[in-house]
């Protein structure tokens, strides 16, 4: 897993008592009680391609948390091989998938940064754009959450956002001990609790179990098969969108 230097960040000092990049290059949030503001939630990923699993669980999270959910495609994911489709192609697929509704929105900020897409940097940016009491939420499927302790500056994520874990079938695994111990005192049992503080809680959110993955979709396309009903119709309606994956 690459451990490159975190890119320099530009901050507004508004939301921080000390909006600096510390030696560990992490921004510091002054914890404040939440004021009931509508949370901003992000679902990051490679979206290579976006599929109905992503879209449905993001939709259910928007409903359950009463949050604005932003789908955030990663530029160079630090934890995995480079995507098959380039950034522009993945954005076009997301735009097509999200057309016709406004609950889920596309946020391309990670594609505008050079280097690896560290979530801690993204949350620092969002924090700097928000009030200190604005709840920010990082949405993670069970698989991504289980691997959290391998992420860059992972403990700092709890200073910046709440984490909501979305159930994903086929990915039940015990949490590593250091992650289990970090979250032990952070558990929330209702979405309402996430509005009472800006960051730091962990909520398990049961969502419709959809055993759909981008890798399975890519495999179908590479084999010349049609992944209908696994992808939004808009992706199947335009041949160019799925061309990067066809064998």
- The smaller minimum CB distance to ligand ATP, of residues 189 and 215, is found at 215
In the complex, what is the shortest distance from the CB of residue 133 to ligand ATP, in angstroms, rounded to a whole number?
A: 26
| Residue with smaller CB distance to ligand ATP, 143 or 193 | 143
Q: Closest Cα to residue 79, out of 20, 140, 22, 134? A: 140
> Least distance to ligand ATP from the beta carbon of 157, Å?
13
According to the binding rule CB under 6 A, does residue 200 interact with ligand ATP?
Answer: no
Question: Taking the CA of residue 245 as centre, how many other CA atoms within 13 Å lie in the half-sphere pointing to its CB?
Answer: 28
- 29 vs 117: CA distance, rounded Å: 20
Q: Which is nearer to ligand ATP, 57 or 188 (CB)?
A: 57
In the region spanning residues 14 to 43, those forming contacts with ligand ATP, defined by CB under 6 A, are: 43
Of 45, 135, 227, 232, which lies in the binding site for ligand ATP, with binding defined by CB under 6 A?
45
- Single out the segment in contact with ligand ATP by CB under 6 A; choices: 13-21, 147-155, 183-191, 211-219: 211-219
54 binds ligand ATP (CB under 6 A): yes
67 binds ligand ATP (CB under 6 A): no
State which residue, 95 or 143, has the beta carbon closest to ligand ATP. Answer: 143
| Cβ at position 93, least distance to ligand ATP in Å | 11
Q: Residues 39, 65: contact at Cβ < 8 Å?
A: yes
Burial class (CB in 10 A: 0-12, 13-18, 19+), 62: buried
Task: Map the footprint of ligand ATP across residues 143-182, applying CB under 6 A.
Answer: 143-144, 166, 168
Q: Out of 67, 148, 214, 235, which residue is the one contacting ligand ATP (CB under 6 A)?
A: 214
Q: Answer yes or no whether residue 57 interacts with ligand ATP by CB under 6 A.
A: yes
Residue 140 in contact with ligand ATP, rule: CB under 6 A:
yes
Size of the site for ligand ATP (CB under 6 A): 19
Query: What is the binding site for ligand ATP (CB under 6 A)?
Result: 43, 45-48, 53-54, 57, 140-141, 143-144, 166, 168, 210, 212-215
């Amino acid at each position: 897993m690459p451990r490159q230097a975190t890119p320099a960040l530009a901050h507004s000092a508004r939301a921080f008592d000390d909006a600096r990049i510390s030696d560990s290059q992490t921004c510091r949030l002054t914890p404040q009680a939440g004021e009931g503001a509508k949370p901003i939630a992000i679902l990051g990923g490679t979206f290579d391609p976006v599929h109905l699993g992503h879209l449905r669980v993001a939709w259910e999270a928007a409903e359950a948390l009463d949050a604005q959910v932003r789908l955030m495609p990663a530029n160079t994911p630090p934890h995995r091989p480079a995507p098959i489709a380039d950034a522009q192609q993945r954005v076009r697929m997301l735009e097509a998938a999200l057309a016709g509704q406004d609950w889920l929105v596309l946020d391309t900020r990670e594609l505008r940064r050079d280097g690896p897409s560290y979530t801690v940097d993204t949350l620092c940016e969002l924090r700097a754009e928000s009030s200190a009491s604005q709840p920010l939420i990082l949405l993670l499927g069970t698989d991504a959450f289980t691997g959290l302790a391998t992420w860059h500056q992972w403990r700092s994520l709890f200073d910046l956002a709440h984490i909501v874990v979305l159930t994903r079938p086929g990915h039940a695994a015990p949490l590593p001990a250091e992650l289990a111990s970090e979250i032990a005192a952070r558990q929330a049992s209702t979405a309402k609790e996430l509005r009472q503080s800006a960051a730091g809680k962990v909520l398990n959110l049961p969502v419709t179990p959809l055993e759909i993955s981008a890798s399975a979709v890519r495999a179908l396309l590479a084999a010349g098969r049609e992944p209908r009903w696994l992808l939004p119709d808009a992706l199947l309606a335009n041949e160019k969108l799925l061309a990067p994956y066809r064998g």
